[in-house]
Amino acid sequence: MKITGRSFVAGQWLEPAGDVFQSFNPRTGEAFNHFRECTEREVDDALLAGKRAWQHMRGLDGVAIGGLLDAVADEIEALGDALLDTCDSETGLGRVRLQGERGRTTGQIRAFAEIAGRGEWVQASIDTALPERQPLPRPDLRRMLQSIGPVVVFGASNFPFAFGVAGGDTASALAAGNPVVVKGHPAHPATCELLARAFQAAIERTGFPAGAFSMLQSGGHDVGELLVRHPAVEAVGFTGSQRGGRALMDLAAARQRPIPVFAEMGSVNPVFLGPRTLAATRDTIAAGLSGSVCLGTGQFCTSPGLAVFVEDRAFESAMRAAMDAAPRGYLLNPGIRDALRAGLRRLQAVAGVEWLNEAEFAADSMTPPNAVLRVPASVFLEEPGLSEEVFGPATLLVACEDEAQMLAVARHLDGNLTGSIHATGDPDLEAELVRIVEQKVGRVICNGYPTGVEVCPAQQHGGPYPSSSAAWSTSVGADAIVRFARFVAYQDAPQRLLPAALHDANPLGIIRRVNGEWTREPL
């Protein structure tokens, strides 16, 4: 498929007047394709059209919204090999990985289509009037979640499908009935264009207003700032670095009318290893941990960047050997390469940090070494920078003097997406670690590794700051939809003015909380 380099703005393919930027092939170093940076005009056109589209969309039922999402999934699949080939040329992720991610993405979109169609996500709650109650009567109160308006989505470089133009933020925001404006990612702009074509086809097929979806190409930060500051925007979804997420949070908070930013950011995803458990399964843990660290060249938000254990030189040797034996992969883009090199240098600059398997990392190389570093826990506890994420195939081994120091390290950590515990042979330590770690993370993993995020209703992908901006929210799973909605209550409203989900007859057949009891029965 021919790449035009244009942006999709409210149903039209436009060539903005901004600066030119290009795709980049991490395998060859080749720059190719030409795209133009969007300007304030495209931002304004997309968001004003989105606001108009919302007035139409908020009157639709969940079945219609689900129909749009199902059509999007169909159209993504219809792109066929062209989508995989294009994305591989921009990311170096490989056809096998991208096929799996495309399946995850279309499955996720269809799951949100089903959620929208069922309608139960609105959490309808009814407390009927008690006119005779003393000392004061109770009014009739009915509450449910409703869409909020245009949502801006910033995708991630490491998951061009599942966290990109058609990723979970876009799917969940649309499922809630909101128009979406996506800032295309400069690491894979051609992929963004193809996915936007799928949305165009789905919107035309289902008769949705053109402003329901726009994709604005951008190679820098100016468009992102314009999007977050625009008065028509009601919320932001972001997946990326702590620096990028915090910048958007600050922009949104500084608006005359602040808006929420749901940012999934940096995480070191600590792994805690009980001494008896480690002694019994040393080689197995080294193999599993190194495999998780190096998976996808370490370019996962759940990559385990920290391993905490009571000093065990044999384990350190096993980790060094396992990391050396793991294949070296490609980084996604030069920006990630430069950040990884800077992060490794930052760690090495701390007295007491030792790079156990240091290997050459040439300035222009897109294939970094699989790095394993070591630091005594006493140094780790005194150096806050050692608990910051280094994005790539690198992990820091924190060697403790005893179990008490392990617990001190656990208490010292900031918020993370995940925390893993291998301590079945250390039951007292295991129990105490769980009590501490569950306060620090969104997902506690027992005897496993954090890479691999199952997409299902019970998943939690988000944690205390700085791993995410809203610890109660998740960017994966069914409950991702509630980020882009707000509760509205109706007091003593006649049936004709109520949304269908709150009618006495329960025409949608959804489960509702009525006077404190869950039921599908009509009133």
- Catalytic machinery residues: 264, 301
**Contact criterion met (CB below 8 Å) for 404 and 378:** no
| Residue in the block written with tokens 């108009």 | 52
Calpha distance 107→377 (Å, rounded):
43
The 8-class DSSP code of residue 248 comes to H
The 8-class DSSP code of residue 336 comes to H
Prior bond to 466 cis, omega within 30?
yes
What does the DSSP assignment read for 391-448?
-SSEEEEEEESSHHHHHHHHHH---EEEEEEE-TT-HHHHHHHHHHHTTTEEEEEESS
* Residue 205, C-beta contacts closer than 8 angstroms, at least 6 positions apart: 71, 75
**Contact criterion met (CB below 8 Å) for 473 and 262:** yes
Which of 373, 341, 339 lies closest to 356 in space, CA to CA?
A: 373
Give, for 486, the enclosing helix (H) or strand (E): strand 485-491
Q: What is the dihedral of CA 195, 197, 202, 204, to 10 degrees?
A: 160
| Residue in the block written with tokens 């800032």 | 183
Which of 68, 63, 246, 86 lies closest to 164 in space, CA to CA?
A: 86
Which of 237, 197, 190, 226 lies closest to 213 in space, CA to CA?
A: 197
